[in-house]
A and B are shown apart, each in its own frame.
Chain A
Amino acid sequence: GAGVSQSPSNKVTEKGKDVELRCDPISGHTALYWYRQSLGQGLEFLIYFQGNSAPDKSGLPSDRFSAERTGGSVSTLTIQRTQQEDSAVYLCASSGSVVNTEAFFGQGTRLTVV
C-alpha cells in the first residue's frame, strides 16, 4: 500500500483478555517502530525492529507485551492479560534503511480496556 496500515483502528476488550494489533509497514522499509500514546501525552517507545538485527525491546513495559515481525514486513504487537492502564493509542511507524530517515506513521489503534 501507499502508507503504513494499522488494524484494527479501534479495539475494545475486557480486562484480562489478550489482544493483537497489526501493522503493515511501507514496502521495503527495514525499520519498524511501535509507540504507545496515552491521552494528551507524548509517544512512549515500545519496540524497534531494524532489518535482520535483534529487536530493541527496551521500551516494553512488562512481559505481557510482545511483538514480532514476520519476513521483515508485517508486525504484530500482542498484549496478554490486558489491564485498564493498557488503554492508549498504539502507533506503528516505518522508515527506510538509511540512517534514521523520516518515519511514516499509521493512524494508530485505539485500545480501550474495560
Chain B
Amino acid sequence: SQQGEEDPQALSIQEGENATMNCSYKTSINNLQWYRQNSGRGLVHLILIRSNEREKHSGRLRVTLDTSKKSSSLLITASRAADTASYFCATGGETSYDKVIFGPGTSLSVIP
C-alpha cells in the first residue's frame, strides 16, 4: 500500500511555537500532499511537493520530502490558535490511474 502514516497522532503546543508533523509512506510516489481539516468536514489542500523536490514553502508552512527514507515533514512556524485542526498527508502514485491515499492524520491543538 502507498498509504501515508502521520506521526504523532496528536500534538499540543503553545501559540507561537512551531509544530512539526511527519509522514511516512511505503511505495514510489509522484507527489505528496498535505491537507488540513477543521471540524470533521471537508479537507483543504495546503501544499503539494513532487518527488523530484526536496523542500517547499508556503507562507508559514514548510514541507520537506526525503524519497530515500520515504518520509515527509510539515512544519508550521509561529503557530496560532486558528491552526488547530487535523492534518493529513496524502500520497499520489506514479500514474494518473493511481488513487490518492490519505494517512490517519495528526490532530494539532494550539493553546492560546
Contacts and interface: CB of A to CB of B under 8 A. Distances in A.
Contacts of B105: 42-43
Contact of A100 (B31, B41, B44, B104): B31
Report the interface size class on chain B. 20 to 34
Contacts of B103: 42
A101 B50 CA distance: 10
A107 B42 contact: yes
Given A41-B104, A42-B104, A89-B40, A103 B45 contact: yes
B99 interface: yes
B25 interface: no
Interface in A5-61: 31, 33, 35, 37, 39, 41-43, 45, 48, 50, 53, 56
Interface string A99-114: 1111111111000000
B104 A97 contact: no
B92 A33 contact: no
Report the interface size class on chain A. 20 to 34
Interface in B68-89: 88
A87 to B, nearest CB: 13
A4 B45 CA distance: 13
A53 B97 CA distance: 8
A96 B70 CA distance: 25
B99 A99 contact: no
B81 to A, nearest CB: 20
A99 B40 contact: no
Contact of A98 (B43, B44, B88, B96): B96
B17 interface: no
B48 A102 contact: yes
The listed residue with most B CB atoms (<10 A of its CB), out of A39, A42, A95, A104, is A42
Contacts of A4: 42
Interface of A: 4, 31, 33, 35, 37, 39, 41-43, 45, 48, 50, 53, 56, 89, 91, 93, 95, 97-108
11 contacts: A33-B99, A42-B88, A42-B103, A45-B102, A93-B43, A95-B100, A97-B96, A99-B31, A99-B92, A99-B96, A103-B45
